[in-house]
A = this chain, B = another copy of it.
Amino acid sequence: MKKLIFLIIAFSSIIGFSQTSNLNLMPWPKEITTGSEQFIIEPNFIISLNNQSTKRVEVATTKFLRRLSNKTGVFIEEGFAFESGELDNISLSISFERVGKLELNEDESYKLQISKNKISINATTDIGVVYALETLFQLVINNDNFYFFPEVIIIDSPRFAWRGLMMDVSRHFMPIDVIKRNLDALAFVKMNVFHWHLADDQGFRIESKTHPKLHELGSDGLYYTQEQIKDVVQYASDRGIRVVPEVDVPGHATAILTAYPEISSKDEIYSIERYSGIFDPTLDPTNEETYKILDDLFGEMAELFPDKYFHIGGDENEGKHWDENEEIQLFMKENNLKDNHELQTYLNIRIEKILLSYGKSLMGWEEIMTPQMPETALIHSWRGVNEGLTPGQSLVDAAQNGYKVILSNGYYIDLMQPTKDHYSVDPMPEGTNLSSLEESRILGGEATMWSELVTPLTIDSRIWPRTAAIAERFWSQKEINEVEEMYKRLEVINNTLEQIGLTHIKNKAGILRNISNYQSIEVLDELSKISEPFKIYSRNSGGTEYKTYSPFTLFADACTADAIDAHRFNNLIANYVSTGDIETKNEIMVFLKSWGRIYAELSSLSQNAPLILRILPYSGRVSELSNLLYSGMEKNELLKKEFDEIQKLLNAKEEASLNLDVELAVINSLNVLAEFLKKN
C-alpha cells in the first residue's frame, strides 16, 4: 500500500489521513483524507436535501437507499429523501446549486464529507450529487459486526470531460434491460457518455416513422421503438449520462440497404448480414435519394437524442462498389473528386450540413479526417497495431489539425485483453509536441463493446469489470496507475457491480450449468479460472466461423479476460522462481494437484454432458501438465524425458484448443516452472 499512500500525499494538501488500504474506490478520487471514526449504517438513516429536489437527485437518493439496504440488510425506516433541511437527526445532507446540463465540460465535481454522526455532500450541479452518492456507496465497508462508512473527506472532479462506453447493438441486439443495467454501471464508475452504435451490416435497430422499412426489413424485429429510446435517454439523463447515437454510413450499411436497395452503390439484392467482418455494401453518395432518406432519419433522431453530437460512423469503407459503378465514377470525374476518400468526404460534408440543420455536430471514426473535412467534426481515433498503424497517431493528428478528438484505440474491450493493457493507455499521449491548445482538444475516450461475439447473456462479463479500470483512466489523475493496486480494488468493484444489478458473475454459472447438463459445475469453474477466450481477432478469425445466431453458450463464453486463478498462480510462480520460498511452493502444488484431477472428473461428467466432450482434449493437456509438474516439484527436479514431454504439451495448444476458443492463461508460468525445475 505504500504506493497508494504516496499517491494520496501527492494529490491531497490535507494532512491527517490514514488507513486507505481498505477503500476500494474506482475511479480513485482526486483528493482523499481519511480519519478513524465510523458512521454506522442503521435503520434511522435519513437523507435531507438542503434545497429543492430534481428528478436526478430523487432517482439517485432512492436508488442509493435501496442499494444500501439490500447490501447491508439494514431495514432503513425512510425509503425516500426529504426535500427539506429542517429535520432533526439528519444522517446525510445534500446541497447543490443547480440542475446539471448534459454537455461537454459541465461541472461534475463534488465534495463528500463523512464524520461519525453526519455525512454531507456538496456539489455545484445535481450531476455532482449523483457521483457523490456513487462514491458513498463504494465506501460501504464492514468490520466483524456491522457495515459502516469510514470517516473521510473527498474532493473530486474528473480529468477528462468525455468518458464513454460504446455499445454495438447491431451485431447482437441488446434489450432495454441490458442497456439500463449498463447505464447504472456507467454511473457507478462515473462515466458520462453512452455511445449507442445503432446501425451496422447486421441490423438497423431504430424504429423510423419516416422510413419504416428500415426497422421492418433491417432488424429481424429486434429494434428499439422511439418510446423506448426516449425512455433510455431519460434513464441516462437521470444518471448524468449523455447518449450519443451512431448510424454507420456509408459502409457497414447492409441493413439499411436491405430496406432501401435503391440507394446502394450496386444493383443487387441485399439481406441482413449474418457473419462478422468488413463487407462491400455501401450507400451511393451520388444519389440524392440517399440524402433525402438520411435527412428524414436524422431529423427523427435529432428529436430523440438531445445530445449535441451525432456519430455517423464512416469507418472501414473500402469503396469497392464505388469503383465498380460507372455512374459513380462519372460523378467523381464531373465533381473533381480524385479518389474514394474525397467522395466519402463529399458525403460527410453534406451530412454535416443536414445535422447542422438539426442543431447537431458531426462526429465519426478517424477515417472521416480527410484534408477537406471541416474542423467542426469530432474525430474518434480507433486504429492501431491491429490495423497496421501507429496507435493513437490519428489522435495526435486530429489535435494538431484543429479537431476535437476522443480515443478508443487501446480500449477495445471486445478483444478480451487483460485489464492492465487498457489501464496503461492514457488518452493524453506522451512524447509529442502538442501545445496546450492542441492538448485541450483531446476530450477523453471511450471503451468499445463490439458485439460480434457477445449476447445479452455474456455482454456484462465482457464490459465489466475491465471498463471500471478504463473509467479510472478517464476520471482519475494520470499518476493513479499502479497495476496490482488497481487489480486489488477491481476485485471488490467486480462484486459491487453484481450488487447493483450486473449479471456478469451469475450468468457465468448459468453457462457452466448448461455445459455440464446440470451436473456439478465445480471442476468446469476451476478450469475456467485459468482459461481465457482467444484474444484480439483470433476467435472469429476469417470472419466465417460465427454467425449472429451461433450459440454463445460455450466454454469460451463462460471464460473472461484476467482469469482469476491464473493471475494468482502467475504471481506465485514469479515469486517462487526468484525466492524459492517454501510456502509459495506449497501453494503452487495445491493448484497443480487440483488441476491434475480436472480431466478425470470432466471425463466422468461427460458421460451425461455432450458439451463437455469438446473440452476434454484441452483439459487433458492441463491435467497432464499439472501432474508432470507436480511430481517434478515433489522431487525438486525434472528428468529430460519429463521436461520434453512438458514442452510437447505446452506446444500442443493449437491442436488441443481447436474449436474451444480458449487459451491456457498459465502456460507461460508452467513453462517457467519447467525451466526452473530442469535447472535444479
Contact = CB atoms under 8 A, between A and B. Distances in A.
Contact of A614 (B73, B79, B503, B554): B73
A514 interface: yes
A554 B73 contact: yes
A132 interface: no
Interface string A108-144: 0000000000000000000000000000000000111
A336 interface: no
Contacts of A72: 551, 610-611
B553 A73 contact: yes
A145 interface: yes
Contacts of A177: 175-177
Contacts of A492: 518
Interface in A567-610: 606-610
A440 interface: no
Interface in A1-56: none
Interface string A71-102: 11111100100000000000000000000000
A514 B551 contact: no
Given A550-B75, A614-B73, A495 B510 contact: no
Contact of A506 (B143, B145, B510): B510
Interface in A143-189: 143-147, 175-177
Contact of A225 (B69, B74, B227, B498): B227
A220 to B, nearest CB: 8
Contacts of A553: 70-71, 73
Given A274-B79, A550-B75, A514 B146 contact: no
A321 interface: no
Given A72-B551, A227-B227, A492-B518, 11 more contacts: A59-B221, A66-B549, A69-B551, A70-B553, A72-B610, A142-B608, A143-B610, A144-B610, A505-B513, A506-B506, A506-B507
A552 B70 CA distance: 7
Q: How many copies does the complex hold?
A: 2
A337 interface: no
Nearest to A68: B551
A73 B611 contact: yes
Contacts of A266: none
Contacts of A672: none
Contacts of A673: none
A509 interface: yes
Contacts of A614: 73
Contacts of A79: 274, 547-549
Nearest to A511: B70
Pick from A66, A143, A495, A551 the residue with the most CB of B within 10 Å: A551
Leading 8 A-B pairs by shortest Cβ distance: A506-B506, A177-B177, A79-B549, A227-B227, A495-B518, A69-B551, A70-B553, A73-B611
A interface bracket (residues with beta carbon within 8 Å of B)? 35 or more
Contact of A145 (B70, B146, B613): B613
Contacts of A143: 610
A517 interface: yes
20 contacts: A65-B549, A66-B549, A69-B549, A70-B514, A70-B551, A70-B553, A72-B551, A73-B551, A73-B610, A75-B551, A142-B608, A142-B610, A143-B610, A144-B607, A145-B610, A146-B610, A147-B610, A175-B177, A227-B227, A498-B513
A131 to B, nearest CB: 21
A26 to B, nearest CB: 16
Given A176-B177, A549-B65, A553-B73, A142 B225 contact: no
A44 B666 CA distance: 38
A495 B513 contact: yes
A153 B74 CA distance: 55
Interface in A397-418: none
A376 interface: no
A79 to B, nearest CB: 4
Interface in A506-527: 506-507, 509-510, 513-515, 517-518
B499 A551 contact: no
A527 to B, nearest CB: 16
A231 B144 CA distance: 48
A507 B502 CA distance: 11
A74 B73 CA distance: 43
Nearest to A496: B518
B514 A505 contact: no
Contact of A606 (B62, B71, B144, B227): B144
Nearest to A609: B142
Nearest to A550: B75
A227 B59 CA distance: 22
Nearest to A145: B610
Contacts of A70: 514, 551-553
A70 B550 CA distance: 8
